[in-house]
Structure 1
């Protein structure tokens, strides 16, 4: 560990940007006086990049810390100064509450104009991205806290979303003694499966399979018509997307013979949707005895893009059919998946992805799966030392399939037992919410829920999520809903559909 700089930062005010990559990304919370430490950890391989990190040491420390996870393929320094995943916009930031906060770039820096997966050509850089960087930065941060305050932290927490959610589960599985509480939102746990399923879903939209924005709305309207009334509220939100996926049939939108247009789907487009919804199957077994990736669900297909994110158009389809090399107007799943095939699995930047065959790269897939797939259900050691885990899946997520996280949680229950799992872990599912928290109520203070569980023994039950206006200083609540423990869903009782009290959680 080498300290590059340490500067005392004066208290800063709340600021809200006009635009941002996510709703919470527009908010720079008010922070107190703190010491900002920038550092790096040198690599073993001189050709590998260093691991950069930032640690924020508040003047008034509460004895706790929060490590923030990253996103995508990382390559950007996570400062720990923003809001953690799902965090209400109007709550004091963890740093303002007295937590030491910190994050890392995971051991590489993304450069403008380069594919985000270039770093994966270096073995050490990729292993740092997989798990080593987060462990090394965690340990370096503990050493800094001890140096600054004269003692180690009393409790340590990890909060991450997407790739950061995978990192959180990685820490619970690989380093079960390091954290007391972990929150993993929309975790990309079956990483190898996601890259291949995302690529496959892109390949079927090349040419005639691509679906235009008007047809996306057609599909989303059909889903709402078929499923929205089931809970009794009839307010454009599918409350039980699992049941909806079972009953909704894309074939009902098939064009009549010889016809095409915005009011129906062609055979190629129906095949594309069925591919998205279907399971991706590998011809061999990957880490933890998995050989597939579950398909995506229904609802939220036309969620408006918030910056680059939202619904099918952002994650799956983009604004144009997939290109090689991936273009900026392609869907994010194609940009990530096709680039992953080239740089991570085939390790051939010039590969024509349409010619890629999984069987030809079995050894590399097994190697990557062992590094990246956070799918080990044996959390016995984490549970045994008092660790607490909360997983949150968004059911209108098209960046990764929420069914992967649901399946993982159920595998933990099978491994350890349902009653035993309930002692230390929770899975929540949020209907209508996309990957980054748009589309439906999604804000909830999971940090306080973890602290209460870890430090007071208060296990969380069903919670409440809110949708807030990104407008300071009030951040007014637009609507609220129950956040139900899996496998329950919000059921409408009576009253205003914008209030959580109008619903109950029911299986």
Structure 2
């Protein structure tokens, strides 16, 4: 598992003696600490804890300010790191519900002048539970993850308040817009893809060990969307650093979803009649509910039996298709052939005639006709004319994000027109797309090292996700089963596909303690099975459902309160 403190008192005494000598000589703290740690690393056994020198956390906290950390303590090339601020946050401070803790901010220097540094936050609770939690970002990151808030899907109590030392970063650039201008900088792209995770981890673990006199007993990672991709990334690239990972709604095939976004934009804006206005998207959603809501035994606004619903797909599409001569009428309740073709692109996903990294040829499509709503902030376009550049609000999440990726990451030309980009035959851009899919993607199925070390994984995702295809996540899980066998996958992974849940919104928004389940699995070898989730959607707040392990889903038993999880059982399709 993660590096742990040795039990020998000799290494601790040696380090303590070294620090005491330097203290007696009045060597400044930011100069004395890291050479001592590096010297100790040469003479004590690997993983030995560095002993605390006596001062309280509050005293140590203020002394962290001005620390400089040499590149040698970071496992990837950097220019070192610097602590900018360090202050104790009192339990009585306004809006603080995390108890007393030391808040540290700093930055990791890049190798190349002009590349942004990686800004990070580290939080050290006075009452430490011996564990560390790295928190992932979202979208294109660009905002420092403070690590002080509650976990997604568990709003009751923040990990920091539970005693976890927490940390996060901005992935090495500023700003989380669809433009993603940092894609023009090679080092910034590598940082965003994977390097920021290792760099921040190593700095944070060094600070934690110095503050408490020992490394964490267990180190976890938790994130969703981009943070979910980051969770799979750390298992694939840095398996020795983590004991458990929560990786929700993971953007595993990052290049795939961005290329599909470009294709969606082309069918909406470069194909005559391809734009699907929000009222028609709502009509599609309501029609799928009419046909599929009751297939799980309960009329609750949730399509749970997606497999059974898919068998009705052809009939649903036929019922939505406009009869001859009626297509194109404003605010009509039917879809033209061109509009259905746009939805087909979403449903079918993307199949490439050439491979991305790890021999990946596909991005799986969405459950368009199985209860997924594509209106709202993260849905399809709201405007029938695309902007330059397109925006999420007007032109939809998938296209705006795909357009930025094509401009700044692939073509590296702000004037590039993604509507004219041949996704299937990218020509001179193909090499760059493949390289990006390796740098940013997390589709490598080789988790053998992480599995061998006993690492654990929990992934939760909505079956109605409109941003990250749930079928892509399922496909990766199934690829793991093909590679390692179901028994091995069951020994380290839990996949929960949630009916009705979208990408943070939906007919059912689950709340459950995934971190508690992960920690119990890692520390006590109690593997989670069926969990119970409380709905935090505004309209249905408080009802509950079982979270069933994939491929099962909740079916109403026919009696009992339909708003209680106990009235449902987990069944297979």
TM-score by length of 2: 0.81
Distance 1:417 1:367, change over 3 A: same
- 2:296 corresponds to which residue? 231
Q: Report if the CA contact (8 A) 1:279-1:292 is conserved.
A: yes
- For residues 442 and 300 of structure 1, what CA distance do their matches in structure 2 show? 17
- 1:110 corresponds to which residue? 175
- For residues 227 and 375 of structure 2, what CA distance do their matches in structure 1 show? 22
- 2:448 corresponds to which residue? 380
Distance apart, 1:168 and its partner CA: 0.3
Question: Does 2:308 match 1:243?
Answer: yes
For 1:280, which of 334, 346, 350 is the aligned residue?
350
The alignment partner of 1:439 has SS state of coil
For 1:465, which of 529, 533, 536 is the aligned residue?
533
Q: Report if the CA contact (8 A) 1:205-1:317 is conserved.
A: no
- 2:198 corresponds to which residue? 135
- 1:121 corresponds to which residue? 184
Superposed, 1:88-487 pairs within 5 Å as 89-90=155-156, 92-110=157-175, 115-206=178-269, 208-249=273-314, 250-259=317-326, 260=329, 261-298=331-368, 299-302=370-373, 311-321=374-384, 322-327=386-391, 328-358=393-423, 359-360=426-427, 361-468=429-536, 478-487=542-551
Distance 1:388 1:12, change over 3 A: farther
- For residues 353 and 390 of structure 1, what CA distance do their matches in structure 2 show? 36
Number of residue pairs aligned between Structure 1 and Structure 2: 478
Distance apart, 1:448 and its partner CA: 0.4
Question: Does 2:559 match 1:491?
Answer: no
Q: Report if the CA contact (8 A) 1:186-1:400 is conserved.
A: yes
Superposed CA offset, 1:338-381 (max 9, x none): 11111111111101112112422111011101111201111111
Distance apart, 1:300 and its partner CA: 4.4
- For residues 278 and 485 of structure 1, what CA distance do their matches in structure 2 show? 25
- For residues 355 and 44 of structure 1, what CA distance do their matches in structure 2 show? 36
- 2:7 corresponds to which residue? none
Question: Does 2:146 match 1:76?
Answer: no
- For residues 179 and 414 of structure 1, what CA distance do their matches in structure 2 show? 24
TM-score by length of 1: 0.91
Q: Report if the CA contact (8 A) 1:426-1:485 is conserved.
A: yes
- For residues 289 and 156 of structure 1, what CA distance do their matches in structure 2 show? 31
Structure with higher helix content: 2
Q: Report if the CA contact (8 A) 2:142-2:170 is conserved.
A: yes
Superposed CA offset, 1:460-485 (max 9, x none): 101111113779xxxx9521001110
Q: Report if the CA contact (8 A) 1:215-1:264 is conserved.
A: yes
- Which runs of 5 or more structure 1 residues have no equivalent in the other structure? 16-28, 303-310
Distance apart, 1:279 and its partner CA: 2.6
Q: 4+ residue runs of structure 1 moved beyond 4 angstroms?
A: 12-15
- Which runs of 5 or more structure 2 residues have no equivalent in the other structure? 1-80
Greater mean alpha carbon deviation, residues 238-247 or residues 350-359: 238-247
Structure with the bigger RCO (C-alpha within 8 Å, sep 6+) is: 1
- For residues 247 and 470 of structure 2, what CA distance do their matches in structure 1 show? 12
- For residues 246 and 47 of structure 1, what CA distance do their matches in structure 2 show? 55
Q: Report if the CA contact (8 A) 1:482-1:490 is conserved.
A: yes
Distance apart, 1:319 and its partner CA: 2.1
- For residues 119 and 480 of structure 1, what CA distance do their matches in structure 2 show? 42
- 1:5 corresponds to which residue? 85
The alignment partner of 2:167 has SS state of strand
- For residues 134 and 106 of structure 1, what CA distance do their matches in structure 2 show? 7
Superposed CA RMSD:
1.8
Q: Report if the CA contact (8 A) 2:258-2:402 is conserved.
A: yes
Distance apart, 1:198 and its partner CA: 1.5
